[in-house]
């Protein structure tokens, strides 16, 4: 029953929210067309097909690759446990990328804060991390997050607790443009843009 409901919702979204339909913001439209729906294959993706990744892992991995490549995000902080397919994709767009795994709240906060003082970063909440791990780390680091950083959360529709947490998390942000891809939530922390939520079929 849950799978049927999930399929119906995603199918409905595809009809109403695909191809940048209804998006008037140049920034938001550019993100949707150049990152979410970019049809051009990157050279890197060819080699990834030989890896033992699932279809879902490849799809999300390619999205994260395009995200880091498009916005030149050279500092990536993963909140949760190490995930091989994430490591493989998010570090591929540049050899200058620095990747930090903030397992639980035991990460070297000072080391991460030093990197955050230099440039915007990608904060990727691993789907194996618990709500307490997400909240615990974020509360310790949020004052150091630079402008134009990106926050990504997976499986935001997995259950009632995650849906509630995701909605509350976004509402508590002072600014940000949110893209709801159903399975993935992406927030751009950009003060010059009005706070707005976009639903995108992915």
- What pLDDT does 49 receive? 62
With cut-offs at 50, 70 and 90, classify the pLDDT of residue 7.
very low
Q: Are 127 and 82 in contact (CB under 8 A)?
A: no
* 3-class DSSP assignment, residue 186: strand
How many Å apart are CA 130 and CA 156, to the nearest integer? 12
The string of pLDDT tens digits covering residues 53-76 is 788 888 888 898 899 989 989 888
Residues 6+ apart with CB under 8 A from 54: none
CB proximity list for 60: less than 8 A, separation 6 or greater = 154, 183, 184
Is residue 60 within 8 A of residue 24, CB to CB? The reply is no
- With a CB cutoff of 8 Å and minimum separation 6, the contacts of 120 are 71, 73, 75, 146, 147, 148, 149, 150
Number of domains in the chain: 1
End-to-end Cα, the chain, rounded Å: 21
Q: Is 77 exposed, middle or buried (0-12, 13-18, 19+ CB in 10 A)?
A: buried
Mean pLDDT throughout 155-162? 77
| pLDDT band, residue 173 (cuts 50/70/90) | confident
CATH number at residue 109: 3.40.50
| HEC string for 58-88 | HHHHHHHHHHHHHCCCCEEEEECCCCHHHHH
* Residue 86 structural domain: 2-199
Largest interatomic CA distance in the chain: 48
CA distance 102 to 100: 6
Structure-token match 């997995």, residue found: 158
pTM of the model: 0.82
pLDDT for 15? 42
Q: What is the pLDDT of residue 11?
A: 42
State the pLDDT at residue 104: 47
As a whole number, the mean pLDDT across the chain is: 77
């Amino acid at each position: 029953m849950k799978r049927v409901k999930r399929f119906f919702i995603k199918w409905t979204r595809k009809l109403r929210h695909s191809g940048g339909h209804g998006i008037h913001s140049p920034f938001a439209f550019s993100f949707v067309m150049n990152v979410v729906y970019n049809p051009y294959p990157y050279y890197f993706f060819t080699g990834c097909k030989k890896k033992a990744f699932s279809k879902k892992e490849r799809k999300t991995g390619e999205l994260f690759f395009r995200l880091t490549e498009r916005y030149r995000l050279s500092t990536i902080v993963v909140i949760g446990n190490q995930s091989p397919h994430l490591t493989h994709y998010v570090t591929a767009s540049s050899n200058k990328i620095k990747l930090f795994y903030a397992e639980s709240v035991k990460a070297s906060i000072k080391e991460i804060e030093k990197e955050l003082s230099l440039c915007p970063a990608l904060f990727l909440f691993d789907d194996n991390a618990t709500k307490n791990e997400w909240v615990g780390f974020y509360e310790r680091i949020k004052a150091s997050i630079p402008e134009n950083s990106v926050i990504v959360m997976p499986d935001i529709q997995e259950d009632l607790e995650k849906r509630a947490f995701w909605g509350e998390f976004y509402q508590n942000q002072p600014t940000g443009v949110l893209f709801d891809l159903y399975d993935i939530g992406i927030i751009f922390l950009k003060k010059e843009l009005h706070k707005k939520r976009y639903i995108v079929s992915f």
